[in-house]
Chain A
Amino acid sequence: MSTLFLAHTEADGTLAKAALEALAATVQFAAALGTPFSVGLIGDNPGPAADAIASCGATRFLTISGAAFAQARYASDAAAAEALCRAAAATVVTVPATSRWNRVLPGVAHRLGGRADTHVTGLAAAAGQPQVSRWFYRQRMEATFTRSTRPWLLALEGGIAPAWQGAAGCAHAEAVALTLPAPRTSVVGFQAPASDQQTIRPDADLLFVTGAGWTKKQADGQVKVGEAGTLILDFLRLSRSSLGSTKSLVDLGGEGQAILPFLSHLNQVGQTGSTPRHAKGLATCCHGEEPHTVGWRFIGERRAISLDANCGWARGKADILYVADAFAVMKKVNELLG
């Protein structure tokens, strides 16, 4: 068996945390099997990134470089991954589950006559073969399985192992040549809210989940969407947390109702949203099952504030449920953090 770890460099030429985590998982996996592994890197100039992980234990470092590989584009990424897998004669291929790799991995497996599995949350060696775990039905049930087809390509989710750390050195990277046909697609840029409005912060310790309750009539008979918006934004600014939302709250915006303008579908957690990874989570004004179960499947410590003492969804899912008015509590929290 020969394992290949594939990664792409970031805009600054380094490897992202997700890549170093997947590398660490690959190192452990290869050690458990007692087989060697190679590293394949793509990017504008991936040589320095290869040197930065020179001591990871890989027997070979292969690179594909050039301006075309600085862009996350299906045609060029799939061709590069295919070429690296062939050059390494890999039977098991691991990649970090970045949007860039998730886009191409199944297609690459098809070209190689292999199979791909995405969103892998566990990788182990059983009877000399890989055994993987992943979630099905939107993080509702977890399965462990093996496959007989090779190569087997695996996209490893963030948090699968602590990020690899080690000394830099000289990787003696081998360049793999690849000529591409003229691309039909070009990446022209990125769209993001202005940085003071960017509410999604994947690296934050805390995920702050807001529910539709923030827009509901309160005990004094008033709807206080403006105040809710200020409290939420102040808290995000003071705590540097990442903002998640329930579907109900995000959807309100589409129906012409007064709504929190900084929320979009990208904030939505749950079945039809995301399942982000953070050490802590605080849910406020949520009643739905989704934010409490699927939405924080990968959240470590969890607390919730709701007026509803019987919120069945928080029970068994949160460590602590505060039965209280989130407006009053978050106002005080902001005062203390300010």
Chain B
Amino acid sequence: MYTIIVCGSLVPDPLQTLEPISGPSGPALKNEMMLPAWLDPWAGHALYEAANLAAHHPGSKVWLVCLGPKAKLQQVMMTVAQKVPFELIALDGSAGGFTDAAETAAALADAISAIPGLDLSKLLLCGGWESASRGAGATLQLVGERLGITDQFQGVDSLTIEPDGSLRILERVEGGKHQVSVCTGPPAVLGWATGNLPEPRNNPQVGMANMRGIMPALQKAKPAAVGTGDITFTAVSLPTQTRATQVIKDLPPEQIAADLVAWIKSE
């Protein structure tokens, strides 16, 4: 039986064009509140893996702890709620990439510690190994440290519970390999990469059950004053180099191949 807490928030739809602007409290995205948002992809994988684990271990429960602008969270939850069963804890604050991971982690750790009857010996603290916004891979470690959890794993693609209750974990390491570790049991921090599960289909029944808890959770979402912390940004810019692409048409495959091979072999 596990208490599985997934930390994850929202990010702008990856296919949107993003443009940085200078806001009152540091950099921000142009029209940030207007951009369609999604559940952060790696956090999404963590949520689906968590739900799958809970389904195989009766009595387990999944919490989703989200720090984001309340109105946006509500939109994103309309879809996420239909995927898998969970209970939401919402915090109302910025989910932008320029907020400091340390501030976000402090707010998340406080919210997690306030869960009534939280039993660390059953806790698996999950999330994406990196966000698609800040992309730092720092928040989960900081939440883990704040909760006193020193068995931590990042880039996780697989978690298996062994018959003796130990956790067998595969983490991404250099060169397309996985490191295999065995941890005696919870508590542990697991920053998920892609995992092995497809995105679950929408299930309206799950959605209805989830929404009963989600709406009150959103209503009582506490404000979280997260910002850029001690950072002073001196510049934020889009990459300017566009390449003068040479488009080559109507060249026979033999010539293209010769051209490519010469290029591949060149220093």
* Residues of A that sit less than 8 Å from B by CB: 72-75, 78, 98-100, 102-107, 109-111, 115-119, 126, 131, 135-149, 184-193, 198-202, 205-206, 239, 241, 254-255, 265-268, 271-272, 280, 282, 289-290, 297, 301-303, 305, 309, 314-325, 328-333, 335-337
Contacts and interface: CB of A to CB of B under 8 A. Distances in A.
Nearest to B132: A138
A282 B172 contact: no
Contacts of B230: 115, 147-149
A81 to B, nearest CB: 12
B198 to A, nearest CB: 5
A332 B194 CA distance: 35
Interface of B: 11-12, 14-15, 18, 20, 27, 29, 41-42, 97-98, 100-102, 132-139, 141-142, 144-146, 150-155, 157, 170-185, 189, 193-194, 198, 229-239, 242-251, 253-254, 256-258, 260-261, 263-264
Specify the main secondary structure of chain A where it touches its partner.
mixed
A314 B236 contact: no
Contacts of B193: 265
Contacts of B177: 190-192
Contacts of A111: 145
Contacts of A328: 253
B246 A320 contact: yes
B124 to A, nearest CB: 14
B245 A290 contact: no
Of the candidates A149, A266, A331, the one having the most CB atoms from chain B within 10 angstroms of its own CB is A266
Contacts of B178: 190-192
Given A119-B135, A314-B245, A141 B142 contact: no
Contacts of B261: 333, 336-337
Contact of B14 (A75, A148, A290, A332): A290
A142 to B, nearest CB: 6
Contacts of A110: 102, 141-142, 145-146
B194 A265 contact: yes
